[in-house]
Structure 1
């Protein structure tokens, strides 16, 4: 994307994040520093062509499929250091990356520390696909005797059970019912 269009898009993203709508074309002109609404029209069309903006059936400006996409700019080492790379990486949409089936996806906040060995900390948000098939070894949200929990799905000679990722907690076996609510397909946390 052109560098100037990237700056325009960032200003539109910030405005949209704050207000939930886009300003009028004259408002966009003032926001991004263009002098005329015809210049805004040209810029908006370029952003539409790249999937960042679209129009609703009533011709209002709306976020396009790439509006919330972000660039993976580089890799960063967790065990050492490396020189930064100036080459821009691929453009990804976090929603598209983590949510395959929006109508079956729920977000749940993790409480407790029984899954720290799997990298799930208290306060993290797990992305769960409801009703998805689950295999042994996958992280699931399960209903165990009418109580929800997040654990690894496990199986032994006695049948299915739930296994924590923290040795301080015992495995969980249902007394009456073990039902898989959904498959954990991702997680995220915010540090501030």
Structure 2
């Protein structure tokens, strides 16, 4: 089991925090003190206040908004449980480690970052499938040999940006598709810096 932070009660506070995270994911807000008591099965307001105090002390909650609990960046972090080999199996012992924020991990420049949903199969060789969500950093500087979102002849596309003696061109990662050389215009919309997809449960 992962080590408890200062002042937090073993097991129970962790379970309460997980319940609050699930609630926040579903409602996009934290419950009131009375709502916390109902959610966690606490019989007294004093118990709720002590829990909230511990969570605030450890950096999970804030009360900057009057009479309202607000989650911090730490609240939104996810536990990093180690690594798992994609080849031969290894002993299945869960090693609880640090926590990371998915947004912090994937997004370096929030003001320049957008999400793009993939349509089509021209980049399957690069592991990019239809329905995937790409994290794209907006920039106009050409990034040769990177996967980019480009505007070619007025249309958006996701391809490798290449350059040869004839100039810039776009290369798919699927042999069923030809390379694209712009007829009139090729603009760099952004460079792909990450991606994610959701699997069926």
**Same fold per superposition (TM over 0.5):** yes
Distance 1:6 1:154 in 2: 49
Relative to the length of structure 2, the TM-score reads: 0.89
> Does 1:9 find its partner at 2:17?
yes
Residue matched to 2:184: 176
User: Does residue 36 of structure 1 match 2:48?
Assistant: no
CA distance in 2, matches of 1:88, 1:82: 16
TM-score normalised to structure 1 length = 0.92
2:109 pairs with 1:84: no
> Is this contact kept in 1: 2:32–2:68, CA < 8 A?
no
- Asked if residue 60 in structure 1 is aligned to residue 49 in structure 2, the reply is no
Shift of 1:98: 0.8
2:151 match: secondary structure: strand
Residues in 1 aligned to 2:20 and 2:44: alpha-carbon distance in whole angstroms: 17
1:43 is displaced (CA, Å) by 1.5
Cα offset, 1:50, TM superposition = 2.9
Q: What's the CA shift string for 1:90-141, capped at 9, x where partnerless? A: 2111111111222222111101111011110011111111126452111110
Does structure 2 conserve the Cα–Cα contact (< 8 Å) formed by 1:133 and 1:183? no
User: Which secondary structure state, in structure 2, belongs to the residue aligned with residue 38 of structure 1?
Assistant: helix
- Map of 1:189 onto structure 2: 197
Displacement over 3 Å in runs of 4+? none
What's 1:136 paired with? 144
Q: Secondary structure at the match of 2:131?
A: coil
Aligned partners of 1:141 and 1:151 also within 8 Å: yes
What is the RMSD of the two structures over their aligned residues, measured on CA atoms? Answer: 1.6
- 1:106 paired residue number: 114
Q: Structure 2 unaligned runs (5+)?
A: 5-9
**Aligned positions, number:** 192
- Measured after TM superposition, the shift of residue 37 of structure 1 is 1.9
Query: Which of 104, 109, 129 is equivalent to 1:96?
Result: 104
2-structure distance, mates of 1:159, 1:15: 53
Contact 1:48 1:64 in 2 (8 A): no
Q: Secondary structure at the match of 2:82?
A: coil
